[in-house]
Amino acid sequence: MELTQLDWWGFRLRIPGDYVPKPVSTVESLAFGFGVSAGLELLWLSWLCYESWRAPLQPWDWLYDLAIPVLLCLPIPLSFLFVRGAVADALRISPWLIMSREKGAMASWDRAAFRVGLLVAMAALFRLGRSFGIACLLLTLDMVLFHALLGRFQECKDFTRRRWSFSLPGWLAGLSDNPEQVTGPDSDAEPAYAFLAPDGTRYKVGIRIAPDVLLALRKINAESGGCLYRKDPLAVTLEDRPPVGKIGQDELLRMCRQVVSICRKHMLTPLQTANAVLSFVQLAIQYGFDEDTTKDFAGGPFKEYGRFPVETIHDSVGDCECTAILCASLLAYLGFKTALLFVTIADSAGGEPTCHVATGLDAEGALLAESGVADAFDYIAATDGSGRRYLYGETAMDGSSMAFGSIPPEWKDSLAVRRVEPIEAQVTAAGEAVA
């Protein structure tokens, strides 16, 4: 079966061209047979409940009640066992079985089936005097066997992580060989933030920012009147070139290693990773106007002040350009092609349009290929003639979140693009991040 060009019951499966899975194994076929049996038996038990509610049982109804469960309990799984993958291929479920195994989905399904089986067994204790209870026990047996086969004896139940994640940039080397191990925050990180995984798990991330690093960045920014991000967006976003001279770059890379270890543990796709970073910035950084938040800065307050990413992490506050710069910086060092989107938003009352900055995420390649709903995204076209399109990412959400590819509805008709600045980190032969 060719897995690179495959439709599964109307759903198109997109699989890497170099992916060579093992065929459906005997154990998987048998387990799937028990799963099918359990599903049919559950439907049958539902019918028995309905029948017993409609009319009282007759003396010989127990034979009728048990006929279906007995016929389902062994023949169906055995048929899957003897023909191995043939039935799975005929039903077009082989790719589902293989991908579920490789991506680890079955590891949770078998436990869920076992719990359902226990619940059914407990329900059967109240009806053991009737055939309904025996049918429940047969269903429980199927569920337990399904769990045992998948959870204990399944061949190749561990998945190959590298086939389902994106390649890490060289400068993020140094992560633990154990993909389950998360890199924690620096021991003296201040502040420490919560990073939320898509399944709701919260992790702590944070970096130690030396006072001299922070003061040096403040000075550079003040010398440009807080507007260096307009003159040289790359210098501010990546902190890797004059006039910055790599001040704060090590801190950014430490933060990225913490973030990517969380994404690796949860096996996030590139788009999921980008959205997790965007959500982190939206939830972690409080929105504040520059004039209010730079009063204590040397030379402040500043009417306009685009913080370096390390400044925003330290301050935990910033306006639209500060959060957009931080998000673009983290994504760039995670290996994404991103951009700062300079836009204007028309005033509904007819006043002057508002200048605004957001983060763009390159929309080509694997990001859209994995989503499958490309037409639902909001894009911003590049202004350099490259033809590149970026998914719009709004960072100034202040405590709420919105994924890439979503322009706030109230802005859609009034948003105009002024300038798109690509932000992309590169790697030297030595594995260092450079301009």
Note whether residue 1 is domain-resident: no
End-to-end alpha-carbon separation of the chain, Å?
45
Same domain, 15 and 64: yes
- Structurally, the chain folds into a number of domains equal to 2
Same domain, 113 and 202: no
Q: How does pLDDT run across 86-139, given as a tens digit for each residue?
A: 666 666 666 666 655 554 445 555 556 556 656 665 655 554 445 555 666 666
Query: What are the start-end ranges of the E strands in 179-227?
Result: 193-196, 202-205
Its domain, for residue 22, covers 6-161
Same domain, 233 and 142: no
Same domain, 298 and 429: yes
| Most trustworthy range by pLDDT among 53-67, 283-297, 344-358, 371-385 | 283-297
For 137-146, what is the mean pLDDT? 64
Same domain, 208 and 357: yes
- Number of separate helices (H) and strands (E) present in the chain: 16, 13
**Bridge partners, 389 (sequence order):** 381
Q: Among candidates 431, 340, 435, which has minimal Cα distance to 394?
A: 340
DSSP state of 290: H
> What pTM does this model have?
0.65
Last residue of a domain, one of 97, 128, 161: 161
Residue 227 clears pLDDT 80, i.e. is over it: yes
Q: How confident is the model at residue 152 (pLDDT cuts 50, 70, 90)?
A: low
Same domain, 263 and 381: yes
Same domain, 196 and 345: yes
Same domain, 56 and 103: yes
Same domain, 155 and 179: no
pLDDT for the residue 320:
95
Note whether residue 265 is domain-resident: yes
Note whether residue 144 is domain-resident: yes
Burial class (CB in 10 A: 0-12, 13-18, 19+), 360: buried
Same domain, 226 and 287: yes
pLDDT for the residue 271:
85
Q: How does pLDDT run across 254-267, given as a tens digit for each residue?
A: 999 999 999 888 88
Residue 256 in contact with residue 326, Cβ under 8 Å?
A: no
C-alpha 431/C-alpha 280 separation (Å) is 27
Same domain, 193 and 311: yes
Same domain, 70 and 185: no
